[in-house]
Amino acid sequence: MIEPIKHFSYESGRKCSAAECTRLADYEVYLYDYYPFQNEEFFEQDYTCPFLCTEHMEQNEQEAIGERKPRGFVSYPFSKRSFAQGYTTYAPLSDVYPLLYSVGTGAADPGLVRSVAEVNDELIRHLAKHPELLYDLHPRRFEELVAELLRAQGFEPTLTPRTRDGGRDILAARSDALGSLLYLVECKRYAPKNKVGVEVVRAIHGVTNSERATKGVIVTTSFFTKNAIDFATPLKYGIGLHDFETLKSWLASYRN
């Protein structure tokens, strides 16, 4: 007889699953893996550690040992106690992170996100004329720049805190006649020869699925490897890849 898959439903007031922790849960915990020979993903609640508070989630990531790769193995202090292959991902709970589940309202816990205030028109005009200066930006300033460029295109962008971005740097929301949309944006300020690999694309795809967002997007000052493009191509409605050429186009069209 096959045992049913265990699943612990979330209810308001659910505590963190770490031993003796009395804090409320902030994240639901998932086991993620990818089967390259079948081009399929495995994504399921980690019944050995179904919920974590922010403090234990961050500790879980900081003390993780192993490489996040298909059919790999990563050990954690709290999650994946069944020693299964794959690695841990996290889905923010709607009670704690309402922006992910109520896009377009413009309201969010100020401790969750930071407004875009560091990028101005003068900087963008200068970068449009000298796009090679993108490589000199601090990674956080690059995220702020991308957020502003998205805002100019009609999105409502918010930056996630550096300590808990969970695989996405920007939440870009937009509403239209068909409903509300949420894009998870990962920013990679890489040197031109340091291309974004397929593992980064797989990671944003996994986070997008775990958070039930509309689409996962990667924006980079570099380019993408062939494997990364091959992985994303059949998933064009779920993954968006935007490289240095796209950034130059966004900069040139800003405010036009």
What value does the mean pLDDT take over residues 121-146? 87
- Average pLDDT across the chain, whole number: 83
Determine the structural domain holding residue 235 and report its residue range: 98-253
- What is the separation, in whole angstroms, between the first and last Cα of the chain? 64
Minimal CA–CA distance to 112: which of 164, 56, 53, 58? 164
Which residues does 177 contact at the CB level (< 8 Å), separation at least 6?
Answer: none
Using CA atoms, how far residue 13 sits from 16, 26, 30, 52, 129, in Å, is 10, 10, 19, 12, 53
pLDDT band at 188 (very low <50, low <70, confident <90, very high): very high
Choose one of 81, 96, 111: the last residue of a domain. 96
Are the C-beta atoms of residues 51 and 78 closer than 8 Å to each other? Answer: no
pTM above 0.85, yes or no: no
Choose one of 46, 64, 96: the last residue of a domain. 96
Query: Do 121 and 203 share a domain, yes or no?
Result: yes
Q: How many Cα atoms sit within 13 Å of 40 on the Cβ side?
A: 3
Tell me the H-state helices in the chain: 54-62, 121-129, 139-152, 198-210, 226-232, 244-253
CATH code at position 188: 3.40.1350.10
Query: Do 105 and 227 share a domain, yes or no?
Result: yes
pLDDT digits (tens, 9 = 90+) for 86-132: 888 887 776 665 544 444 333 333 333 333 444 677 788 888 999 99
Are the C-beta atoms of residues 208 and 215 closer than 8 Å to each other? Answer: yes
What value does the mean pLDDT take over residues 23-52? 83
pLDDT digits (tens, 9 = 90+) for 53-88: 989 988 998 899 998 777 889 999 999 999 888 888
Collapsing DSSP to helix, strand or coil, 76 comes out as coil
pLDDT digits (tens, 9 = 90+) for 219-237: 999 999 999 999 999 999 9
